[in-house]
Amino acid sequence: MENHPNSLKKGEFVVIEDEVDIGENVSIGHNTVILKGTVIGDNVNIGCNCVIGIQQGGNTRMRKSDEMGNKLIIKDNTYIGNIVSIYSGSIISKNVFVGDHASIRENVLVDSESVIGRGAIIELNTKIGKACTVQTLAYVTGDTTLEDHVFIGPCVSMSNDKYMGAEKYELKGPTIKENAKIGNNSSLLPNVVIGKDVIVGAGSVVTKNIQDGEKIAGVPANSMKK
C-alpha cells in the first residue's frame, strides 16, 4: 500500500510506482508518471502528463552513463512544468524551474535557482551551475559544463563529437565559464572553452576557445571591434 503524506495533492490518473519518496506539500498534476527510485522534496510542483525518473534504455548504438546512481532527486521548492521528462540518476536542486516539454537525462546536476526553458534538452553527464538560464528550445549536449550564472539563449545548439560518429573519440561538450552569455541560435563546437563574462552574439558559430571578457560574433565567431 502507498504511504504518501496527507499533504500530497495528486491529480487524476497519476501513477506513482513503488520506492518513491515524497516530501510535504507536493503537487502532482493529472496523468503524470513518477517512476521507481524518485525522491521528491518539500513544496515541489510537478505539472500534468510528465514522466519522472526514467531508467536508461536504448539500443547498442546509444551511449550509457557509468557514473549514474539509480535515483532521481528533486529538491525543495522546485517547479516542474507539463509534459516534461527527467531521467533517474540526476539531481535537480532547490528552487529550480523546468519548463513545459523540457527533457533532462541521467547523470545531470541542475544546481539551485537555475531555469531550464520550455522544450530545452539537457543531455547526460552534464553540470548546470547555480542561477543559470537555459532558454527555450536550447540544446545542451552531453559532457558539458556550465558554471554559475551562465545564460544560454533560445535555440542555442552544441555538439560533443568532432568526428560525427565516424571515429572513436572521447565525447566532450563545451565548458562555459561564470557569467558568460550565449546569444540565440548560436552553435558551439565540441570541447570549446568559453571564458568568464564572454558575450557571444546571436547566430554565431564558435569554433575555438574564447578568453575571459571577449565579445564575439559571426561565422566563424571573431572579436567585435567597436
Cβ of 222: how many Cβ atoms within 10 Å? 14
Burial classification of residue 116, based on how many CB atoms lie within 10 Å of its CB (0-12 exposed, 13-18 middle, 19 or more buried): buried
The correct pick among 10, 25, 154, 215 for binding a copy of itself (CB under 8 A) is 154
Q: Of 69 and 203, which CB lies nearer to a copy of itself in the complex structure?
A: 203
Do you know the residue count of the chain? 226
Measure Cα distances from 192 to 205, 210, 211 in Å.
11, 8, 11
Name the 3-class secondary structure at 217.
strand
141 touches a copy of itself (CB under 8 A)? yes
The string over 99-113, giving b where at least 16 C-beta atoms fall within 10 Å of a residue's C-beta and e elsewhere, is bbbbbbbbbbbbbbb
> Does residue 76 belong to the site contacting a copy of itself (CB under 8 A)?
no
Site for a copy of itself contains 101 (CB under 8 A):
yes
| End-to-end C-alpha distance for the chain, whole angstroms | 67
Q: Which of residues 184-203 bind a copy of itself (CB under 8 A)?
A: 184-185, 187, 189, 199, 201-203
Judged by CB under 8 A, which stretch of 36-44, 66-74, 183-191, 208-216 contacts a copy of itself? Answer: 183-191
Number of residues in contact with a copy of itself under rule CB under 8 A: 69
Report CA 42 to chain centroid distance, whole Å: 21
> Does 69 help bind a copy of itself (rule: CB under 8 A)?
no
Interface positions with a copy of itself (CB under 8 A):
11-13, 15, 29-31, 33, 35, 45, 47-51, 54, 57-59, 61-62, 77, 79, 81-83, 85, 95-97, 100-101, 103, 113, 115, 118-119, 121, 123, 133, 136-137, 139, 141, 151, 153-155, 157-159, 164-166, 181, 183-185, 187, 189, 199, 201-205, 207, 218-219
